[in-house]
Structure 1
Amino acid sequence: MTFTRDFSAHRVLAATSISYTVVLLDASIVNVALGEIGRTFGSPVSGLQWVVNAYTLTFASLLMTGGTLGDRLGARDVYLAGLAIFVLASVGCGLAPDLATLTLARTLQGIGSAMLVPCSLALINGAYPDASGRAAAVSVWMGCGGVAMAAGPLIGGLLIHALGWRSIFFVNVPVGIVGIWLTLFVDRATSSATARHFDVKGQLAAIVALGTLIGVLIEGPVLGWQSALVQAGIATSVAAWVAFFVIETRARNPMLPLQFFRNALFSASTFVSMASAFVFYGMLFTFSLYYQQVRGYSALETGLAFLPMTSMVAAGGLMSSRIVKQVGGRRSMCIAFGLYAVGALGMTLSNATSPYWLAAVPMVLMGLASGFISPAATSPALGTVEKRRAGIASAVLNSARQSGSALGVAIFGSFIATGRTFAPAMTLVLGVVVATSLVAAFVWWATSAPVPVERGQVS
């Protein structure tokens, strides 16, 4: 009986780990294909921004609703549907005849990811009822994501070199099918449905607010900031953001519980998570163009060039809890953002003819910072909410990360699109990285200080 239960739990872990692997692989692997995609479709930088952001934007906008959908209909069935959508959308990406079709298929990939990622955690939670087993399972799940993030650029480079850029999407198909097959054997009872409320108005307002914001940032440099379309987009975005916060304030069961942010530590954790994703994914996009357009690297050479950075993301995540215990969460987080700043300053020494190691060393520092910050920010944030609300709190943090990623690609890409040459645009990007890192470090230091306990007060 115990063996059967353990085997079933391990099957759940295998299925969910496979899905998380392809989701994070897709978030990083596409960057090394930007040069090939641009040449295939004759796309400017703005078009490449949409290829990256169509996925992350949809993922960020629908992540919390994906969790609610899983609670209402059952995590297993929603997970299966999300994985099926992701696989079919990957086929669409691989077969895309033009940039618009590719962008639409990437949007569908984001929808699938938003359904399957929160339901993955729900399935693990149901399969591992004891706390120690669940913690170990979540560690394996996150570890698979870390490996995928680290290996993504290299795998992408190898696939593109051997089979062309379309192969980076087709590779998702057999992996996704294995995940679907494993999930079909999962008992629906591992995640029963509950009557959670859909915040339809809040969801629609969030999609419009975030979508128009990213759209304005990407298209503003192309159409001109004074164009009627861009001005309308700005007005729509502002109105949608105001509407979203009004709706969430008044809703009985809001998509985004604003009371979480009354806690300074939760607010700071959300902010530093968003800032780290903004910096890391914005640089991933920028460096991809730098290696392929400035240094003339192939997709494979670009994947190899990213290896020091992405491998340190996985290492930073594995070492995060140990570093926090030894150094302290407050100090170690500020040091991590300091590594971002030092790495960005170091990258200013790199140019089209400089030795590769001048770029590799700063990228190691930035990869280590990124890997450390995500788990180090998550743990204290979840400690500020009730256990029964940990799922929605985790969704808020993940949405903040995805939103930060989309903003990084949009803003840094707009710098590149408006620059006459790449070098000054790259310098501006690195300056923003330094400024963002210093602000994030200051916010964390100011809000994460331990509260002194007065005499007679129970700690």
Structure 2
Amino acid sequence: MIATCLSYVIVLLDTSIVNVALEPVAMSLHSDISGLQWVVNAYTLTFASLLLSGGALCDRIGAKTVYLAGLLIFACASALCGLAPNLPVLVAARIGQGVGAALLVPCSLTLINRAFPVARQRASAIGVWAGCGGIAMAAGPLAGGLLIHLLGWRSIFLVNVPIALIGAWLTTRVDSVRADATDRQMDIAGQLLAIVALGASVAVLIEGAKLGWQVGMIRVGAVIALVAWIAFVLVETKRKQPMLPLHFFRSPVFSASAFASSVSGLVFYGLFFLLSLYFQSARGWSPLLTGLAFLPLTAMVAIGSFASGALNRAYGAQRLVCGGFLLYALGFAGLLALADNSPYWRIALCFPAVGFGAGVITPAATAALMTTVDKARAGVAAGVLNASRQTGSAFGVAIFGALMSAVQPLDTGIRVAVYLAIGLSLLGALVWRIALAVATRYVGSDAC
């Protein structure tokens, strides 16, 4: 339990902690906004694109072996991040962290399932595991700001090394877990096409804002992304054991859950990136002060995550996810005050709505999604949901960073970004409500 919780803490910590280091990294390694977007997205993109293959490796090789490999890869990549002499090395090391994270998350759930065979104990263990992730998410900006204040920006990566090594030592004490599905085939073609499609799409968004949308290289990148996405869908329809089982999306609840998680990740992490740059660049705040400023936001994410189960039982997934997206829209509307250089307290008043909405959406969408698939396919389905959220996060950083670069002056760019977040939040609520209404009417899904 301790080993799996430690890994999940560092995996989620590195999705948020790096945001408070953006300004110190930019000054130390002489980076612009597009470079900072790559620092954030190199990790998120790799994590998203390899997550499903990580689950397949877990099935083929065994959870303990793959889990140990993930911890050691994450530790080595974190050390390289902390020692990186320039931006390209830092981005490459962040890719290594993403590889490690993609191996850790699916294997950690498998290890928990084996360690707690009794259903009630297993549910409690998974709750503890998820709660540790929520705490890590909440504490990330503040812990990062404190570490940077005391030891510099490199410390936020180096701190992962002893934690990962302790987790690896603990994992060696766990009984070996044999693979259940040794005959499961790796979808190499689908995996490569997913990497190309995601990477090219995000690269076009990031570099297009910097170089210009009419540049030949950007147009070629857009064509590559489009061709890769089409080829990926075609390959996945032909494979007997695809990385992404497209037949899952025939269920309106499954499709809506994946869409909701993707939109939630996009608007939350996109605006998190924007706010981090705004506080540090526009207002000149230190990483520690930036971390403190995010506390009303991230604390409510953790509270929303813990409260989601009870709220779901009381009101149902349909109302809960819609309510979460409406809280998003309400909170984002208040963030229009950013463009007017308003005092911090006016901005902080909007954070609880955004944070609580983020906390309740993903668990409720996950619970709804899991009712649509057989237990034997639950791991793959959960992997699809996590990959959707991480993909949305990567696109969010790319899109909102591009708006900050391309739309000037800054207050206009902020307004455009906030209006986009509001529109996407309302769209998420509408799609969710329609999909579950269709499922209720024609299928009678319990998810509602």
Q: TM-score over 0.5 for the alignment?
A: yes
1:176-221 deviations in whole A, cap 9, x for unaligned? 1110010011111365562211011111111100110000000001
Q: 1:302 aligns with which of 286, 290, 293?
A: 290
Partner SS, residue 153 of structure 2: coil
**Alignment-derived partner of residue 4 in structure 1:** none
**Alignment-derived partner of residue 440 in structure 2:** 451
Residues 191 and 16 of structure 1: is their aligned pair in 2 closer, same or farther, counting only changes over 3 Å?
farther
**Alignment-derived partner of residue 137 in structure 1:** 125
Distance (whole Å) between structure 2 residues aligned to residue 273 and residue 220 of structure 1: 26
**Alignment-derived partner of residue 27 in structure 2:** 39
Distance (whole Å) between structure 1 residues aligned to residue 309 and residue 215 of structure 2: 49
Percentage of pairs with the same residue:
53
Q: Does 1:250 align with 2:238?
A: yes
Runs of 4+ in 1 over 4 A off after TM superposition: 190-193
Shift of residue 334 of structure 1?
1.1
Shift of residue 352 of structure 1?
6.7
Residue ranges of structure 1 left out of the alignment (5+ in a row): 1-12, 455-459
**Alignment-derived partner of residue 75 in structure 2:** 87
Residues 77 and 345 of structure 1: is their aligned pair in 2 closer, same or farther, counting only changes over 3 Å?
same
Q: 2:106 aligns with which of 102, 118, 125?
A: 118
Shift of residue 267 of structure 1?
0.3
Distance (whole Å) between structure 2 residues aligned to residue 349 and residue 36 of structure 1: 26
**Alignment-derived partner of residue 202 in structure 2:** 214
Q: 1:268 aligns with which of 248, 252, 256?
A: 256
Is the CA contact (8 Å cut-off) linking 1:201 and 1:247 kept in structure 2? yes
Distance (whole Å) between structure 1 residues aligned to residue 313 and residue 47 of structure 2: 32
Normalised to the residue count of structure 2, the TM-score between the two structures is: 0.97
Q: Does 1:17 align with 2:5?
A: yes
Residues 333 and 58 of structure 1: is their aligned pair in 2 closer, same or farther, counting only changes over 3 Å?
same
1:410-429 paired onto structure 2 within 5 Å? 410-429=398-417
Shift of residue 452 of structure 1?
4.8
1:47-83 deviations in whole A, cap 9, x for unaligned? 0000000000000000000010111111100000011
Distance (whole Å) between structure 1 residues aligned to residue 45 and residue 184 of structure 2: 24
Q: Does 1:51 align with 2:39?
A: yes
**Alignment-derived partner of residue 68 in structure 1:** 56
Distance (whole Å) between structure 1 residues aligned to residue 296 and residue 395 of structure 2: 24
The amino acid of 2:155's aligned partner reads S
Normalised to the residue count of structure 1, the TM-score between the two structures is: 0.94
Q: 1:159 aligns with which of 147, 154, 172?
A: 147
**Alignment-derived partner of residue 227 in structure 1:** 215
Distance (whole Å) between structure 2 residues aligned to residue 22 and residue 358 of structure 1: 32
Shift of residue 367 of structure 1?
0.6
Distance (whole Å) between structure 1 residues aligned to residue 281 and residue 442 of structure 2: 56
Worse overlay, 96-105 or 219-228: 219-228
Is the CA contact (8 Å cut-off) linking 1:24 and 1:145 kept in structure 2? yes
**Alignment-derived partner of residue 391 in structure 2:** 403
Distance (whole Å) between structure 2 residues aligned to residue 231 and residue 353 of structure 1: 36
1:324-335 paired onto structure 2 within 5 Å? 324-335=312-323
Is the CA contact (8 Å cut-off) linking 2:44 and 2:394 kept in structure 1? yes
Is the CA contact (8 Å cut-off) linking 2:338 and 2:414 kept in structure 1? no
**Alignment-derived partner of residue 186 in structure 1:** 174
Residues 311 and 351 of structure 1: is their aligned pair in 2 closer, same or farther, counting only changes over 3 Å?
same
Residue ranges of structure 2 left out of the alignment (5+ in a row): 444-448
Is the CA contact (8 Å cut-off) linking 2:320 and 2:361 kept in structure 1? no
Q: Does 1:290 align with 2:274?
A: no
Q: Does 1:195 align with 2:183?
A: yes
Is the CA contact (8 Å cut-off) linking 1:378 and 1:397 kept in structure 2? yes
Shift of residue 422 of structure 1?
1.7
Worse overlay, 382-391 or 349-358: 349-358
Residues 453 and 60 of structure 1: is their aligned pair in 2 closer, same or farther, counting only changes over 3 Å?
closer
Shift of residue 100 of structure 1?
0.5
Shift of residue 425 of structure 1?
0.8
Shift of residue 421 of structure 1?
2.5
Is the CA contact (8 Å cut-off) linking 2:63 and 2:177 kept in structure 1? no
Distance (whole Å) between structure 2 residues aligned to residue 352 and residue 39 of structure 1: 26
Is the CA contact (8 Å cut-off) linking 1:64 and 1:255 kept in structure 2? yes
**Alignment-derived partner of residue 10 in structure 1:** none
Distance (whole Å) between structure 2 residues aligned to residue 412 and residue 341 of structure 1: 16
**Alignment-derived partner of residue 336 in structure 2:** 348
Q: Does 1:26 align with 2:14?
A: yes
Shift of residue 327 of structure 1?
2.4
1:302-381 paired onto structure 2 within 5 Å? 302-351=290-339, 353-381=341-369
Partner SS, residue 436 of structure 1: helix
Distance (whole Å) between structure 2 residues aligned to residue 298 and residue 351 of structure 1: 20
Shift of residue 432 of structure 1?
0.6
Distance (whole Å) between structure 1 residues aligned to residue 171 and residue 281 of structure 2: 42
Is the CA contact (8 Å cut-off) linking 2:74 and 2:101 kept in structure 1? yes
Is the CA contact (8 Å cut-off) linking 1:61 and 1:206 kept in structure 2? yes
Is the CA contact (8 Å cut-off) linking 2:322 and 2:433 kept in structure 1? yes
Distance (whole Å) between structure 1 residues aligned to residue 178 and residue 347 of structure 2: 48
Residues 191 and 120 of structure 1: is their aligned pair in 2 closer, same or farther, counting only changes over 3 Å?
farther
Distance (whole Å) between structure 1 residues aligned to residue 280 and residue 132 of structure 2: 28
1:227-257 deviations in whole A, cap 9, x for unaligned? 1111110110011000000000011111100
1:69-122 deviations in whole A, cap 9, x for unaligned? 111111100000011000000000000000000000000000000011111111
**Alignment-derived partner of residue 446 in structure 2:** none
The amino acid of 2:245's aligned partner reads P
The amino acid of 2:251's aligned partner reads N
Residues 453 and 225 of structure 1: is their aligned pair in 2 closer, same or farther, counting only changes over 3 Å?
closer
1:301-343 deviations in whole A, cap 9, x for unaligned? 0000000000000000011111122222212211111111111
Count of aligned pairs between the two proteins: 443
Distance (whole Å) between structure 1 residues aligned to residue 104 and residue 321 of structure 2: 30
Distance (whole Å) between structure 1 residues aligned to residue 442 and residue 262 of structure 2: 31
